[in-house]
């Protein structure tokens, strides 16, 4: 493993207002976030020579460069697998900077998901494409497994059967995220907490998932500036040092439909990421003061806690009991409200929150933060980060 530990840092973060109807194109949203991130770092477009985004982002790097006034690019890249790419963008940017390919790389994600291209909608055509993915999906799309919610529901039901977890356990995740969002003015669900009773009363999407087990749809964009730690120390904001970054895919991996494994109750790809993060950083879960976990669906938060080593397999329901992952619990998770409460920008807003926690500037600041763990989309090939104080 090529170690980038401590060599690079996130020097700037920027975001648009999160909304349900932005009134702007995805290119305009991306440009706004990129320029905001550069301003946060005290840099200009002329300082940028690299861009990284998601394969699913509608904005080509050259279009974003043109829109923002960025000049020559010596590095640009796109990371696969939806939300699983989020931390992977920082990994690729950090590798480019650490190896001298680029000096300053901006990672971005722009979304018109609510008012434009909506993700997760039923699409019977998925099973008919002349590709390996089409062949794979032809086995389950005709039987109604059409959406991410349906795919995750299969996992969630098996997890409940194996470990005695309940819908109320999943609901405790949603309650925690909405509690944090309620005190975050940037969150869509600002001042709108929920109770466990309200979670249980929300309509079914795909049993055992209620509406409030599923992340929201958002318009918005987030961008992050990655440069060398040495250079970041001279910029406007205190840096969030990239202590570790990893990507991972598990054996028998499939896109949120890994039903061919003997054990369906875990997320082995997150286990691959966890081993990489702990090895590169020399840390363990006890060295983390807070965690930003990808919460597109509540059941995967429980499994991530287990795969990352915060608790043993099947024990996450006990770990989160009694507000264990709330802001005053033993492991505050997603102090910004996560994708369930703040906004769904494919996890990039979670990385921005991790930077704020390291800086000590979050609206829901966890005391004495030294190290923050961040994860990207789960159920797919995924990625993760540990960000630290300089």
Q: Is the pLDDT of residue 309 over 80?
A: yes
Residue range 8-116+215-389 in CATH 3.90.700.10: no
Under a CB-based contact definition with an 8 Å cutoff, are residues 304 and 379 in contact?
no
Q: How is 19-86 classified by DSSP, letter by letter? A: BS---S-HHHHHHHHHHHHHHHHT--GGG--EEEEETT-SS-HHHHHHHHT----SEEEEE-SGGGGH
Confidence class of residue 361 from pLDDT cuts 50, 70 and 90?
A: very high
Instruction: Give the model's pLDDT for residue 259.
Output: 78
Q: Is the pLDDT of residue 117 over 70?
A: no
* Share above pLDDT 90 across residues of the chain, in percent, rounded to a whole number: 84
Instruction: Give the model's pLDDT for residue 369.
Output: 98
Distance CA 169, CA 199 (A): 11
* Mean pLDDT (whole number) for 345-364: 98
Confidence class of residue 243 from pLDDT cuts 50, 70 and 90?
A: very high
Under a CB-based contact definition with an 8 Å cutoff, are residues 109 and 86 in contact?
yes
The pLDDT tens digits for 259-286 are: 778 888 899 999 999 999 999 999 999 9
Q: Is the pLDDT of residue 237 over 70?
A: yes
* Mean pLDDT (whole number) for 299-318: 98
* Mean pLDDT (whole number) for 326-335: 98
- Whether the CA torsion 96, 101, 106, 111 is positive or negative: it is negative
Q: Is the pLDDT of residue 122 over 80?
A: no
Instruction: Give the model's pLDDT for residue 141.
Output: 80
Q: Which one of 81, 108, 163, 294 is the catalytic residue?
A: 294
Instruction: Give the model's pLDDT for residue 127.
Output: 62
Confidence class of residue 307 from pLDDT cuts 50, 70 and 90?
A: very high
Confidence class of residue 120 from pLDDT cuts 50, 70 and 90?
A: low
The structural domains of the chain, with segments of one domain joined by +, span 8-116+215-389
The pLDDT tens digits for 131-177 are: 877 777 788 888 888 889 999 999 999 999 999 999 999 999 999 99
Q: Which one of 81, 108, 163, 344 is the catalytic residue?
A: 344
Distance CA 387, CA 244 (A): 7
Catalytic (active site) residue 344: yes
The pLDDT tens digits for 33-86 are: 999 999 999 999 999 999 999 998 999 999 999 999 999 999 999 999 999 999
Distance CA 160, CA 306 (A): 14
């Amino acid at each position: 493993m090529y170690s980038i530990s401590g060599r690079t840092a996130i020097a700037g973060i920027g975001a648009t207002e999160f909304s349900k109807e932005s009134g702007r194109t995805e290119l305009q949203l991306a440009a706004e976030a990129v320029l905001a991130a550069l301003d946060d770092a005290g840099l200009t477009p002329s300082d940028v020579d690299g861009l990284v985004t998601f394969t699913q982002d509608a904005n080509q790097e050259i279009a974003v460069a043109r829109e923002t006034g960025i000049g020559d690019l010596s590095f640009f890249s796109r990371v696969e697998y939806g939300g699983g790419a989020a931390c992977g963008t920082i990994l690729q940017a950090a590798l480019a900077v650490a190896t001298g390919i680029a000096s300053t790389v901006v990672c971005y994600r722009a979304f018109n998901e609510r008012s434009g291209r909506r993700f997760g909608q039923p699409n019977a055509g998925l099973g008919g494409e002349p590709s390996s993915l089409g062949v794979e999906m032809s086995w389950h799309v005709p039987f109604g497994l059409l959406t991410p919610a349906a795919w995750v529901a299969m996992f969630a039901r098996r997890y409940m059967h194996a470990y005695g977890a309940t819908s109320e356990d999943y609901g405790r995740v949603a309650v925690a995220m909405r509690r944090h969002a309620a005190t975050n003015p940037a969150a869509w669900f600002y001042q709108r907490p929920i109770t466990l009773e309200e979670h249980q009363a929300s309509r079914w999407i795909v049993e055992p998932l209620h509406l409030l087990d599923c992340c929201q749809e958002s318009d918005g964009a987030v961008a992050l500036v990655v440069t060398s730690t040495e250079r970041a120390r001279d910029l406007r904001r205190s840096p969030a040092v990239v202590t570790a970054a990893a990507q991972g895919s598990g054996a028998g991996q499939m896109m949120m439909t890994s039903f061919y494994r003997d054990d369906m109750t875990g997320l082995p790809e997150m286990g691959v990421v966890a081993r990489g993060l702990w090895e590169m950083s020399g840390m363990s879960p006890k060295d983390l003061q807070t965690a930003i976990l990808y919460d597109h669906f509540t059941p995967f938060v429980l499994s991530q806690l287990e795969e990352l080593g915060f608790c043993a397999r099947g024990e996450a329901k006990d770990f989160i009991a009694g507000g264990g992952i709330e802001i005053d619990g033993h492991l505050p998770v997603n102090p910004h409200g996560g994708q369930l409460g703040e906004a769904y920008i494919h996890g990039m807003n979670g990385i921005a929150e991790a930077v704020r926690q390291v800086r000590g500037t979050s609206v829901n600041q966890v005391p004495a933060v030294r190290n923050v763990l961040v994860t990207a989309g789960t159920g797919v090939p995924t990625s993760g980060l540990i960000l630290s104080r300089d």
